[in-house]
Amino acid sequence: MPDITRRRALTTAAAVAATASAVALAAPAATAAARHDHTAPDSFDEVYKGRRIQGGPASGGGHHHEHGGGYAVFVDGVQLHVMQNADGTWISVVSHYAPVATPRAAARAAVDELQGAPLLPFPTN
């Protein structure tokens, strides 16, 4: 059996490191893809902290329609613009930096953030 040279040892170590890096980088993407649910969220209509929140499949078109994945959310009859992130979480214009699991949770987070203030219509252009 031939002796192992320094070159062969370094080449093998580099190959192992590259394989480990590829596996480590692919694992989070696979996990995020597995978490991403391609089914539409359930519709809801409830009163939360004295505010009526509603959500369901969107009808009609518009610039922001596509960001919500065909889903519309309303707080006291005013549309709350929501967007689904690539990892399946949802954000709104009111709580943009706090992703939540569902559009219902986004509506509730907006009500919490508004602290009784009315939701004003958001201009689309």
d(CA 68, CA 90): 8
Domain that holds residue 19: 1-35
At 33 the three-state DSSP class reads: helix
In one letter, which amino acid is 102? T
| The pair of three-digit structure tokens given for residue 57, joined into one six-digit string | 């499949």
CATH code at position 60: 3.30.1880.10
pLDDT at residue 18 greater than cutoff 50: yes
Number of structural domains found in the chain: 2
Asked if residue 87 and residue 65 are part of one domain, the reply reads yes
The mean pLDDT of 76-104, rounded to a whole number, is 93
Q: Give pLDDT tens digits for 105-114.
A: 999 999 999 9
d(CA 125, CA 106): 23
Cβ within 8 Å of residue 110, ≥6 positions away: 75, 80, 92, 94, 95, 119
Asked if residue 84 and residue 31 are part of one domain, the reply reads no
Q: Partners of 51 in the beta sheet?
A: 48
Q: Give pLDDT tens digits for 46-88.
A: 999 999 999 999 876 544 445 556 899 999 999 999 999 999 9
Asked if residue 108 and residue 51 are part of one domain, the reply reads yes
Asked if residue 48 and residue 31 are part of one domain, the reply reads no
